[in-house]
């Protein structure tokens, strides 16, 4: 598949196309949700695989499941993983609403992360792939939480990034699915500015107790990785 290539700090390559690409929010999510070196992790709604590949770039070598409904996006990650010999990353092209982990995987993951579709209303892109990535037609917050709950062990973590106007809904949905919100951070372009993103972590079957972490200061769309070049 024809693609461009973005290079992360430690030289891991991400394959992108004009339709299947990534933004600052996905990289911030990956860094907020960094798994331990050998932990079992899942990248839900993985797109071209930026979260899984950023985890690898930061040293993760445990099993990494990447679920994505769009075949072209999943194929980009599969090609990037194969070309770089990243055997611990397993792209699966599937609808996470229907996917069921086998007995060797159910309830065994330490961490899941998702950069979900942000919008429930408003005009959608005429391009089906862009519309699926941005609007909740094929994946709601509840769908993400259901999938994560099936995968995670007790105490396992689901981390999300989302728009501030949906904060109350996100926290309520996590709690409804027994993924208790435990960490929350706002992303701002400068001190005192309105946040343009938030990052949140919920833990499976844990008691209440939410910690507000220091703001992350970075402009929307800022480059957080190395240099890109055509592939």
Q: 46-84: per-residue pLDDT in tens? A: 999 999 999 999 999 999 999 999 999 999 999 999 999
Q: Which residue has the higher pLDDT, 151 or 138?
A: 151
**Half-sphere exposure of residue 194: CA atoms within 13 angstroms, side-chain side:** 4
> Whole-number mean pLDDT of the chain?
91
Predicted confidence (pLDDT) per residue in 168-214, tens digit: 999 999 999 999 999 999 999 999 999 999 999 999 999 999 999 99
pTM of the model: 0.89
Q: Is residue 177, in this structure, part of any structural domain at all? A: yes
Q: Is residue 38, in this structure, part of any structural domain at all? A: yes
Q: Is residue 230, in this structure, part of any structural domain at all? A: no
pLDDT at 128 exceeding the cut of 60: no
Q: What is the mean pLDDT of residues 94-122?
A: 88
Output the domain CATH number for residue 206. Answer: 3.40.50.150
Write the burial class of residue 92 (CB in 10 Å: 0-12 exposed, 13-18 middle, 19+ buried): middle
Q: Is residue 231, in this structure, part of any structural domain at all? A: no
Predicted confidence (pLDDT) per residue in 150-169, tens digit: 999 999 999 999 999 999 99
- Inter-residue contact 142 to 78 (CB < 8 Å): no
Residue 209, domain extent: 4-224
pLDDT tier at 224, thresholds 50, 70, 90: confident
Q: Is residue 203, in this structure, part of any structural domain at all? A: yes
Q: Is residue 123, in this structure, part of any structural domain at all? A: yes
Q: Which of 94, 201, 101 is nearest to 150 (CA)?
A: 101
Our count of domains for the chain comes to 1
Q: Is residue 187, in this structure, part of any structural domain at all? A: yes
Cα–Cα–Cα angle for 23, 3, 50, rounded to 5 degrees: 35
Q: Is residue 27, in this structure, part of any structural domain at all? A: yes
């Amino acid at each position: 598949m024809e693609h461009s290539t973005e290079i992360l700090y430690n030289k891991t390559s991400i394959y992108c196309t004009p339709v299947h690409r990534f933004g600052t929010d996905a990289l911030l999510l990956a860094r907020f949700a960094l798994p331990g070196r050998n932990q079992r992790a899942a990248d839900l709604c993985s797109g071209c695989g930026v979260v899984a590949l950023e985890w690898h770039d930061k040293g993760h070598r445990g099993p990494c499941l990447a679920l994505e409904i769009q075949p072209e996006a999943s194929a980009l990650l599969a090609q990037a993983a194969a070309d770089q010999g990243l055997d611990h990353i397993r792209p699966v092209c599937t609808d996470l609403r229907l996917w069921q982990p086998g007995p060797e995987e159910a309830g065994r993951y330490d961490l899941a992360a998702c950069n979900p579709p942000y919008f429930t209303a408003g005009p959608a892109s005429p391009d089906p792939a862009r519309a699926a990535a941005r609007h909740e037609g094929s994946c709601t917050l509840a769908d993400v939480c259901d999938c994560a709950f099936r995968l995670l062990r007790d105490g396992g973590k689901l981390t999300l990034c989302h728009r501030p106007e949906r904060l109350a809904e996100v926290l309520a949905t996590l709690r409804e699915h027994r993924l208790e919100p435990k960490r929350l951070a706002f992303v701002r372009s400068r001190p005192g500015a309105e946040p343009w993103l938030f990052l949140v972590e919920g833990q499976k079957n844990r008691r209440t107790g939410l910690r507000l972490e220091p703001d992350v200061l970075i402009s929307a769309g800022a480059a957080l990785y190395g240099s890109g070049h055509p592939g």
